[in-house]
Structure 1
Amino acid sequence: MKRQTNLLDALNRDDIVIGRVVDFAPAHDLLYPLDFTNANKELTSDILEDTDLFTNWVENKLQLNACRYGIGGYNEHRSIYARSAHFDTDEEPRRLHLGVDIWGPAGTPVYNFHDAVVHSFKFNNNFGDYGGTIILKYVLGDVVIHALYGHLSVACLDGLEEGMYIPSGQQFATFGAKEENGFWPPHLHFQLIFNMQALKGDYPGVCQYSKRDIYLNNCPDPAPILKHTFSSALV
Structure 2
Amino acid sequence: MPTVTAPVAQRVRTELRQRIESGEWAPGMSLPSEAALCREFGTSRGPVRRALSALRAEGFVVGGRGRAPVVGKVVPAQSLSTFRSFTEWAREEGKTPGTRTLVLERRHATSMIAGLLELDEGAVVVDLVRVRMLDEVPIMIERASFVPDVGRYLFGFDPDSGSVSAELARHGSPLVSARHTIDAVAANRLDAEALGIAAGAPLLRERRLSKDASGRAVEHAEARYRSEFATFRVDNRAVDGSPIEVRSGV
TM-score (norm 1): 0.30
Which of 1 and 2 has higher RCO (CA within 8 Å, sep 6+)? Answer: 1
Higher-Rg structure is 2
